[in-house]
Copies of this chain bind each other. A is one copy, B any other.
Amino acid sequence: MATATVNPDLARARAQATFDPLKLTYFIYDGADKTKRKRFLQNIAIKESQEQGFRRTAELTREEQYDEALRKTTYALRRIAELGLKDSTDLYFFKEPLFASDSSPFGLHESMFLPTIQKQGTEEQTKKWIPLAKRFQVLGTYAQTELGHGTFLRGLETTATYDVKSKEFIINSPTVTSSKFWPGGLGKTANHCVVMAKLNVGGRDCGMQSFIVQIRDVETHQPLPGVTVGDIGQKFGYGAMDNGFLTLNNVRIPRENMLMRYSQVLEDGTFVSPKNDKLLYGSMTLIRAQIVGGCARALSKAVTIATRYSAVRRQSEINPGAGEVQVLDFQTQQHRLFVQIATAYALSMAGRASIAAYTRVSAQIESGALEELPILHALSAALKAFSSWEMAFGIEQCRLACGGHGYIQASGLPKIYTHEVPACTYEGENTVLCLQTARFLMKCQEAANNGQQLPSFVSYLKNPKNGKSQLSQNIRLEQLIEAYEHRAGRMIAEASLRIKTQLDKGMKPAEAWNSSTQMLVEAVVAFTHAFVVRAFIEKVLTSNLEPSLYTVLSQLCELYALYGITKYSGQFTKGGYLNDQQLEIVEGRIYDLLAALKPNAIALVDAFDFPDLVLDSDIGRYDGNVYEALMEYAKRSKLNSTEVHEGFYKYQKPFVDSMKASVQSRL
């Protein structure tokens, strides 16, 4: 990153830092070696991307985006093979500059098709399919959601009927609503699919099972008989992805194409139930844990762009007549952005904590201990929901903080938002996920009421609800954890009480539950918020940071936690836990923290170490040369390919002439 021509305002803001951002970068990427490895791989990708002349999404039509994405994907995969990259972190960082907040039509092949076969296939099946898939001789996707059906698995309509004579399954879409709809890569790219379908053996409903269905000829790429498949059209972003629809008209597949690691259909039509299908949750849990980190990274990008731009942009005066100041000088702008910087760091630490929990529990599962699986599932579901909501809101805050230029695609911010906000919906709709976690928390509350042992991270459910915070002028981080756990404990208890009250009124359990769900979702948010606050604070307290880093990171911890207290203040003051004076201390401290963090704002976002190509933003550039870049972007607009647009001749001139004529005829 050249510094010779850096915008002077940005350079000055950067120079104010009280710590070395490189050291924070090492902290973020787990040390100097891993940081260097990341940079090494990203630099290759950046150099080659420039050599190849890959085009920016911001300048392409949706059709061109798909075309360019295929070009980039095949290039990247070829290079990955040549470079011999295998480690998932290596792959992530190598691909990041090539697919900056953008999708690949091969994405589901790698993230869903392959892992599903690996997890749900028998040894024989994985032996057959995995090498084919790894060499891209079959290209797959994962087809679960249907036009009329989503999150609720048992609602799917696609059927798989076993024909014992031919030893085949007949896969069928009996209705319009049963067409598979939305899977990425399905529209134009994939030639195979893992299809979720309702298994019918000899007239008996054997539940949802997974089947490998070939949909296109591997050589000609033409759809096979009985298969109707295509792209679903333009979306909110995601132009590079061919999300597709798929209608199967009694398509026959061999018996061997049902993934049979758990459930099985024997040749003679005997259905064998799985011994333990809880293991199926495993991969979903990992994906959700990964989404948390992804949300942190997406928000980090957005806030890097907005913070740098706020140092470059001058707008309005603070002291009348003294000239326009950097918008970063305004307290309101600091509040907007620094809260998001803090949130990005907080979610990143929570993401690490949840991956760590996954790894720990996975090891237990391997040795046969499944006790912690429900806890892990509950935690990862709630964290995915919480972090995607926070991220989506945060990205838009960053975009709105950039004024008009936040609306131009060249800012990168619209693309980041449209690429990331679907995390609120995919891999389990957020509200639905929160309510799954709520089921778990209600069980924990019951266990607490009965004096039973609790999982460590909800042990506070046993605490008394009438406590008072000791928080005073000299705020300690532990007091903030206490405050969040008090709030969560109280809200979980209240939701549990609400259900009980509704039951006492004579409601059926399902209705008592439904009439408490809004309260439950809010309790789950409080529970997750407490987890995130604890994860962030513990990470900072236990990482043996050098003083300059400890100071700024503990300020971010504080800001994150204090901001949440002001946002949900009534939930902290209830029962007198915090009083009005303490709330005023909290507010006052936030304003002090904004001022204290200001010299470090640029360094805090620089430390994320995003190369310009990853941000893909004309206003978030490391060198701050924003306006020249925007003007170049403008000039390349396709509408400028002719000086006079053909619409002028087709519509505008004839109209103006006719108006003139009509005036003259009236004269």
Chain B residues whose CB sits within 8 angstroms of the CB of A571 once the complex forms:
569-570
Is A137 in contact with B583, judged by CB distance below 8 angstroms?
no
A595 touches B515 (CB 8 A): yes
User: A509 vs B591: C-alpha distance in the bound complex, in angstroms?
Assistant: 17
Q: How far is the CB of A293 from chain B (nearest CB, A)?
A: 22
Task: Please give the distance in Å from A511's CB to the nearest CB on chain B.
Answer: 7
Encode contact with B along A585-596: 1 for CB under 8 Å, 0 otherwise.
Answer: 001001100110
Residue contact B431 to A406, C-beta cutoff 8 Å: no
Q: Are A639 and B188 in contact (CB under 8 A)?
A: yes
Please, which residues of chain B bring their CB within 8 A of the CB of A410? 233
Q: Is the CB of A233 within 8 A of B517?
A: no
Q: Are B149 and A315 in contact (CB under 8 A)?
A: yes
Residues of chain B with a CB closer than 8 A to A181's CB: 404, 630, 634
Which among B63, B408, B429 is the interface contact of A639 at CB below 8 angstroms? B63
Task: Please tell me if A614 contacts chain B, counting CB pairs below 8 Å.
Answer: no
Q: Are A634 and B570 in contact (CB-based, < 8 A)?
A: no
Say whether A408 contacts B232, CB under 8 Å. Answer: yes
Distance (whole angstroms) from the CB of A241 to the closest CB of chain B: 11
Contacts A147-B627, A514-B318 given: A139-B230 contact, CB under 8 Å? no
Known: A147-B631, A318-B511, A425-B400. A236 touches B137 (CB 8 A): no
Q: Could you tell me if B510 and A187 are in contact, using CB atoms closer than 8 angstroms?
A: no
Is A245 in contact with chain B by the CB < 8 A criterion? Answer: yes
Tallying the copies of this chain within the complex gives 2
Interface: A455 (CB within 8 A): no
Whether the Cβ atoms of B404 and A231 lie closer than 8 Å is no
Q: Please tell me if the beta carbons of A652 and B189 are within 8 angstroms of each other in the complex.
A: yes
Quick check: B652 and A155 within 8 Å, CB to CB? no
| A156-B659 Cα distance, complex, nearest whole Å | 36
Per-position 1/0 for A646-663, Cβ under 8 A of B? 111011111110111011
Are B575 and A136 in contact (CB-based, < 8 A)?
A: no
Q: How far is the CA of A522 from the CA of B405 in the complex (A)?
A: 25
Specify which chain B residues have a CB less than 8 angstroms from the CB of A399 in the assembled complex: 236
Q: Is A226 an interface residue (CB 8 A)?
A: no
A602 to chain B, nearest CB (A): 19
Q: Is A94 part of the binding interface, using a Cβ–Cβ cutoff of 8 Å? A: no
Give A493 Cβ to nearest chain B Cβ, in Å: 13
Q: Which of the residues B406, B574, B648 comes within 8 Å of A221, measured between beta carbons?
A: B648
Q: Which chain A residues (614-647) contact chain B, with CB distance < 8 Å?
A: 627-628, 630-631, 633-640, 643-647
Instruction: Produce 1/0 per residue, A414-430, CB < 8 A to B.
Output: 10011001101110011
In the complex, 7 of the A-B residue pairs with CB atoms within 8 angstroms, ordered by the A residue number, are A155-B324, A233-B409, A233-B639, A331-B517, A400-B430, A518-B594, A574-B583
The 4 lowest CB-CB distance pairs between A and B, nearest first, are A569-B570, A74-B655, A236-B414, A231-B639
Binding site for B on A (CB under 8 A): 58-59, 61-63, 66-67, 70-71, 73-74, 77-78, 81, 135-137, 139, 145, 147-152, 155, 176-177, 179, 181-182, 187-189, 220-223, 230-236, 238, 242, 245, 313-320, 324, 329-333, 335-336, 392, 396, 399-400, 403-404, 406-410, 413-414, 417-418, 421-422, 424-426, 429-432, 435, 508, 510-511, 513-519, 521, 566, 568-575, 580, 583, 587, 590-591, 594-595, 627-628, 630-631, 633-640, 643-648, 650-656, 658-660, 662-663
